[in-house]
Copies of this chain bind each other. A is one copy, B any other.
Amino acid sequence: MDDTTRGEVLKRLAYIEGHLTGVRKMIEQDTYCVDVLKQTYAVRRAIEKMESKMLSGHVRGCVVDGIKSGDDGVLDELVDLYELANS
């Protein structure tokens, strides 16, 4: 991961960790389940955005390098990731 991507990803991760701390407090204070669930959905979406950042860096870095050097393994990995992301 290049430094810019890593910086952005860690920033998003800190936000996600903070969000989960908020979820923990909601559960401990017996907040209405439906409101807690809406927050955990938001956490999952935030994780997806972080994944998108990482994937973008990966595609522009390792995948481009791999293709240029004739390493087809990066392509298999990329398709596997797509399948895994939704499973």
Residues of A with Cβ closer than 8 Å to B?
1, 6, 9-10, 13, 16-17, 20, 23-24, 27-28, 30, 32-34, 36-38, 40-41, 43-44, 47-48, 50-52, 54-64, 67-68, 72, 75, 77-79, 81-87
Contact = CB atoms under 8 A, between A and B. Distances in A.
Contacts of A24: 10, 13, 17
**How many copies altogether?**
4
Given A20-B20, A85-B41, A58 B77 contact: no
Nearest to A9: B27
Nearest to A62: B33
Given A20-B16, A27-B13, A84 B41 contact: yes
